[in-house]
Structure 1
Amino acid sequence: MNLKQLRAFVAVARHLSFAQAGEHLHLSQPALSLTIKALEEDLGGPLLLRTTRQVSLTPEGETLLPLAQQLLADWDNTEELLRQHFTLQTGRVSIAAMPSFAGNLLPVALRRFRDRYPKVNVSVDDVINEQVLEMVRHRRVELGIGFEPQSTQDLVFTPLYLDRFVAVVPLGSPLANQPTVRWAQLLQHDFITLQRPSAVRLLLEDALLAEHGRLNVAFESHQLSTVGRMVANGLGVSAVPALCIAQMRELGAQCVALEDPLIQRRISIMRLAEHKLSAAALALQEALVGAGLAPSLTTGDEA
């Protein structure tokens, strides 16, 4: 039993006429008769009674008719639903992003995506970089955004931009008026940073260990907003990716270019290598790449 046979049977049952059913289906009467005969042979008995004057349903035909109508309706609905998914008239996509990205640059890309595909739902998990990787690897999300790890065997990365760390200092600090700050200058002050296992914290510790030794932390927090507020209130200084510049300003802190050493890391979209993305995920990835998300490294008030 196949769709063609079911559609032929339902058409004849509705019209009680092979001629009218053939016109409706754009089939010749002989072709329609053969289709019905094949269905009856497959099922093991007659579904329609034919005379020179009329067509009627057998008891088995009457049993099949509502079931066939429901099967065809379900099939048509499934076809339409999948067509809407492929054409992004509906759908859902899940993404995980590290908080520094999710809270600063991701909304720009989501606005671009929403303007194009208003009926597609987007679910965002803002979690630390390590959890982003795990959520992608375990297929809890289709896409992840974060720093590229050292081991990338099971993941595919699409680079977004190369981010660099900037100093975060109180507005009244002498460092706030300098065009650039060296790490040796910054570390003379109480240092505020994110708690482990934040990728930001681990990256800073690894990059500074050889030249400046172990990072001496005065205050630490799980939230970048708390770090920024601490700096703004004069508790110390910090260093964050440049994508957080706008957020730090809103919290009342000043960002300054940071060097010696220059610490930078590529931020990329990640997906599981063996997993084919849905149409919605592909469109979101395109929106992310096309949004031009690289933050301005201008850190002063003139930006």
Structure 2
Amino acid sequence: MTVKQLRAFLAVAQTLSFTQACERLHLSQPALSLAIKGLEDSLGGKLLIRSTRSVQLTPEGESLLPLAKHLLAQWDNTEERLRQRFTLQLGRLSVAAMPSFACNLLPGVLVKFRRQHPKINITVHDVINEDVIDMVRSRQVEIGIAFSPEGAGSLIFTPLFEDQFIAVVPPQSALTQASTLTWETLLQHDFITLQRPSMVRRLLEQELAKQHIELPVAFESHQLSTVGRMVADGLGVSAVPSMCIQQMHQLGARCIPLTAPSITCRVGILTQQELSVAAQALRSVLIEQIKTPFLNA
């Protein structure tokens, strides 16, 4: 059976007239007759009894009528829902983002996206960098926001910006008087950082090791908010990507540019080759919205 054949049958069955069915479907009589014959041939028997004066349903035609109504209603509903997805009037999208981005930059992007496409619902997975990569690779999410991966494989990495690590110090510390800090000065104080396998922790250790500097960790936590609060309460100092400046200030800590060495990291979008229309739209908003580093935020 084809949709065209079912529509032809339903029009004739409801009007009991080939003439009226032709008008309803905008078909010629031969085209309508051919569609009905094709349906009957595919099913193996007569569905309609046609005379010069009337059209009647056979018992098999009577049994097909409610089924045809149901099938065509389902088809039309499916067609409409897909059309709505392609036109961004309906849909759901899953995104994975590392905590530093999810907490600080993603909400602003989602505000703009929601204004443009209010019918697209989004699930955000706030997970560590390594899990973002795994979730995109396994297709649990369509879009991931992460640091540039060492080996992307088949994934596509689209850079958004180059971020730079900044120092985070207690508000009462004398360090707040400095316009910039060196790592040597910062590491004279108790250091607070994220626990492994955090990519932030790994980047710091790798880059400092190149300068023969060891990262002495006094306190560690899984959450950036906990790290910021520990610093704000005077337990020590830390270093985080500059996109976290606003979050650190809200927690009560102070942020200062950090040099010698200056540690940078690329942040971008991870995707598979093919994306849904909704994912393509969000990717465009991300690229448009996230244009510059946030060192001066």
Settle same-fold status: TM greater than 0.5: yes
Pairwise mapping of residues 187-266 of structure 1 onto structure 2 (< 5 A)?
A: 187-266=187-266
1:42 is displaced (CA, Å) by: 2.1
Letter in 2 for 1:64: L
Question: Is 1:99–2:104 an aligned residue pair?
Answer: no
Distance 2:155 2:88 in 1: 25
Do residues 64 (structure 1) and 67 (structure 2) align?
A: no
What's the secondary structure of 1:283's corresponding residue? helix
Q: Which residue of 1 aligns with 2:179?
A: 179
The correspondence of residues 115-126 of structure 1 with structure 2, limited to 5 A, is 115-126=115-126
Q: Is the 8 A contact 1:243 1:294 kept in 2?
A: no
SS state of the match for residue 160, structure 1?
A: strand
Q: Deviations over 1:66-107 (max 9, x none)?
A: 111111111111100100111111111101100011000000
Of 260, 275, 278, the match for 1:277: 275
Q: Secondary structure at the match of 1:103?
A: helix
* Higher mean C-alpha displacement, 205-214 vs 193-202: 205-214
Q: Output the CA distance in 2 between the equivalents of 1:108 and 1:257.
A: 24
Q: Which runs of 5+ in 2 are unaligned?
A: none
- Aligned residue number for residue 47 of structure 2: 47
1:184 match: secondary structure: helix
Kept after mapping to 1: 8 A contact 2:176/2:254:
yes
Check conservation: 2:163, 2:294, Cα contact below 8 A: no
Tell me the SS of whatever aligns to 2:290.
coil
Q: TM-score, normalised by structure 2?
A: 0.97
Partner-residue secondary structure (3-state), 2:153? coil
Partner of 1:18: 18
Cα shift at 1:272: 2.6
SS of 2:262's equivalent?
A: coil
* Per-residue deviation, residues 242-278 of structure 1 (Å, max 9, x unmatched): 00000000011110011111100100100134xx111
Residue correspondence of structure 1 range 121-132 to structure 2 within 5 A: 121-132=121-132
- Once superposed, which parts of structure 1, at least 4 consecutive aligned residues long, lie more than 4 Å away? none
After alignment, is 104-113 or 39-48 more displaced? Answer: 39-48
> Matched residue of 2:104: which SS?
coil
Instruction: Identify if the C-alpha distance between structure 1 residues 34 and 272 changes in structure 2 by more than 3 Å, giving closer, same or farther.
Output: closer
On the 8 A contact 1:105/1:293 being kept in 2, the answer is no
The answer for unaligned runs of 5 or more in structure 1 is: none
Query: For the residues of structure 1 that align with 2:253 and 2:212, how far apart are their CA atoms?
Result: 24
> In the aligned structure 2, how far is the partner of 1:35 from the partner of 1:136?
46
Matched residue pairs, number? 297
Q: Say if 2:162 and 2:293, in contact at 8 Å, map to a contact too.
A: no
| Distance in 1 (alpha carbons) for counterparts of 2:211 and 2:293 | 28
Q: Is the 8 A contact 1:162 1:264 kept in 2?
A: yes
Scaled by the length of structure 1, the TM-score of the pair is 0.95
Deviates more, 1:28-37 or 1:280-289: 28-37
CA distance in 2, matches of 1:106, 1:265: 18
**Does the 8 A contact of 2:99 with 2:128 survive in 1?**
yes
Corresponding residue number in structure 2 for 1:291: 289
Instruction: Report the Cα distance in structure 2 between the residues aligned to 1:296 and 1:223, rounded to whole angstroms.
Output: 20
CA gap of 1:156–1:208, structure 2 versus 1, over 3 A, is same
